[in-house]
A and B are shown apart, each in its own frame.
Chain A
Amino acid sequence: MKNLFRTIFLASTIILSTCASPPTPTPPARTDVPAAPQMNFLSAGGVVASAEVVPLHDSEMSFAISAPVNEVLVNEGELVKAGQILMTLFAPELELSVTSAELGLKAAELDLVYWMPRYDRPPERRQQAQAETEEARARLKTAQANFSQTSLVAPFDATVVDIQIQAGEFAQKSRTALILGDLANLQIQTTDLSERDIPRVQLGQSVNIYVEALDTNVNGKVIRISPFSETVGGDVVFPVTIEFDDEPEGLLWGMTVEVEIQTSE
């Protein structure tokens, strides 16, 4: 009998443990932020939401051609200037076609030099030599433009956030090779501000911001309300962008913050 009870007990624990696991992966998507104990928002009646720190500009850069990576010229965390070359591909065929186009232009130019003084020949022959030189020049430009696709160029001043491919690896066309973020200008974007709260939110409203990671409260204001909704776990939410009045130090891209938008003013 004792044995039987033990078996039942064991069986029921197994059953209960299997039952317990299914509900956990589907936490109900909350529209309202549960008031975290460490939050110290004073006023009530505002709109509360969770949010994320994001850069003003960011870019998931990729190449327009597929080739092996020749060289990575920057490191993660490095500040880069607009126009700076960050990475190059190894594409000898594109480099050779530039050389070939250069030689083509040189040949056309020599041809032109030969035909220019030949007044004994029809004038069209000279014109043709001129036109062919122009064509060779244009062809060189195309080859150079094609070759320029082998370098990844920073579109704006930013920080190299993530390098996703290393020298020697094959860079697939259109696949992210490097992520840039303008970390000098960080903003906040809400992730769960419900459609029920959005009618009360207006541009310019001031916002209390609690940065969890830094355990500090700072102020900001609403600078953009997305005119287009997103769906998060079945809820319709509208991303709202908030600007810091004074950016706290130590802030990083992706940090979680809680915001309270002062809608009662």
Chain B
Amino acid sequence: MNLKETMNKKSFFLFALFALGLSACGTQSAATAIPTVSLDTLPQTSSGSESVTASGIIVPLQKVELSFPAGGLVKSVEVAAGDSVSANQPLVTLDTTILEARVAEAEANVVTQSTQLKYLRRTIEVGASQERIDAAQANIDRAVAGVDIARAQLAQATLTAPIDGIVAKVDISPAEYANPGQIVVVMGDLSQFQVETTDLSEKDVPVVNVGQAVSIFVDALNQEFSGRVTEIAQISDTVGGDVVYTVTISFDKQPDRLLWGMSADVTITTK
């Protein structure tokens, strides 16, 4: 065995060892990547079978995520998670000092403009022209519109409940800044729940139809319930690289003790 041969053997050895090591690494990293979503791993979900299975979450029939249209500092938070609220009830209020001052300013402006018009109207016989009166009227209209704007902005500084329901989450505290569009309160009508699928693949969605019977297994309650497909999303979502469609399923009979966000496994009978 000459030196060159030894070297060759040696490098082959090392190469094989590396390959082995790398493949071991490969399977390991693949194993950790999988748990995020387990789509179409079950053979019975492929088309041609009689049912489609998917994971889902329990959501209320009616839910709203509330935010302020304009930013501002939070003055007071009137509710906490779990509170029951009625429609139009104030939930969170911003600091309105500036907005209130602006309303007062706009209102004072209307008075000033009105005085001008009053004067012109009275002196029309002694030379005030119609054009000047029209201009004064336009100034009043503009001032009144200014009041409307200021009042509307003031109204926007109070977040009110759009529906009767229960506050699920409050994500802001007094003296914090609420950015425009930032979700500060999540609420819903927690008397009625439904299931929304989270991983029903595009491969399965063609065989799913509204009205199909569904068996719903709620993990947390360790119980199975019956339901029906009520809605199929018309646009897809992407979950971990897979194209999925949200399918909404209603319970035939509302189970007790459900909470928003619990997970469920659904089996949709497609034939």
Which residues does A use to contact B, with CB under 8 Å? 4, 7-8, 11-12, 15-16, 18-19, 22-23, 26, 57-64, 122, 124-125, 127-128, 131-132, 134-135, 137-139, 141-142, 144-146, 148-149, 152-156, 173-174, 180, 194-196, 198-199, 224-230, 234, 236, 238
Which of B44-52, B98-106, B200-208, B242-250 forms contacts with chain A?
B98-106
Contacts of B80 in A (CB 8 A): 224
**CB pairs A–B below 8 angstroms (30 shown):** A4-B13, A16-B21, A19-B25, A23-B28, A23-B32, A57-B174, A58-B173, A59-B173, A60-B173, A61-B176, A64-B71, A64-B73, A128-B116, A134-B108, A135-B112, A138-B104, A142-B98, A146-B98, A148-B97, A149-B98, A155-B175, A195-B220, A196-B222, A199-B220, A199-B257, A224-B81, A227-B81, A227-B259, A228-B259, A236-B263
Q: How far is the CA of A15 from the CA of B32 in the complex (A)?
A: 19
List chain B positions with a Cβ less than 8 A from chain A: 6, 10, 13-14, 17-18, 20-22, 24-25, 28-29, 32, 35-36, 57, 71-73, 75, 80-82, 95, 97-98, 100-102, 104-105, 107-109, 111-112, 114-116, 118-119, 122-123, 166-169, 173-177, 179, 186, 190, 219-222, 257, 259-263
Given contacts A138-B101, A196-B220, is CB(A131)–CB(B25) below 8 Å?
no
> What is the chain B residue whose CB lies nearest that of A140?
B101
- Chain A residues lying within 8 Å of B175, measured Cβ to Cβ, are 59, 61, 152-155, 180
CB distance A141 to B105 under 8 Å? yes
A-side contacts of B29, CB under 8 Å:
22
Q: Which residues of A contact B13 (CB under 8 A)?
A: 4, 8
Please determine whether A228 and B73 come into contact, CB atoms closer than 8 angstroms: no
- Determine whether the beta carbon of A228 is less than 8 Å from that of B21: no
Q: Knowing A18-B21, A61-B175, A227-B259, say if A131 contacts B108 (CB, 8 Å).
A: yes
Q: Which residues of A contact B28 (CB under 8 A)?
A: 19, 22-23
Chain B residues lying within 8 Å of A64, measured Cβ to Cβ, are 71-73, 95, 177
Measured CB to CB, the nearest residue on chain A to B182 is A174
On whether the beta carbons of A236 and B108 are closer than 8 Å, the reply is no
Give bound CA distance, A153 to B179, whole Å: 19
Given contacts A8-B14, A59-B175, A127-B118, contact A135 B82 (CB under 8 A): no
Contacts of A228 in B (CB 8 A): 81, 168-169, 186, 259-261
B181 to chain A, nearest CB (A): 12
Whole-angstrom distance between the alpha carbons of A37 and B220 in the complex?
28
Contact between chains at A122 and B261 (CB < 8 Å): no
- Which chain B residues lie closer than 8 Å to A61 at the CB level? 175-176
Measured in the bound complex, the distance between the Cα atoms of B73 and A64 in whole Å is 6
Seed contacts A124-B122, A138-B108, A195-B259; 9 additional CB < 8 Å A-B pairs: A12-B21, A15-B24, A16-B21, A124-B119, A128-B115, A131-B112, A138-B104, A141-B104, A227-B167
Q: Which residues of A contact B73 (CB under 8 A)?
A: 62, 64, 149
Report chain B residues within 8 Å CB of A142: 98, 101-102, 104-105
Instruction: Give the Cβ gap from A147 to chain B, nearest Cβ, in Å.
Output: 10
| Known A-B contacts A4-B10, A22-B28; A227 and B168 likewise in contact (beta carbons under 8 Å) | yes
Question: CA separation between A196 and B179, bound complex, in Å?
Answer: 36
Which residues in B have their C-beta under 8 angstroms from that of A63?
177
Q: How far is the CB of A185 from chain B (nearest CB, A)?
A: 14
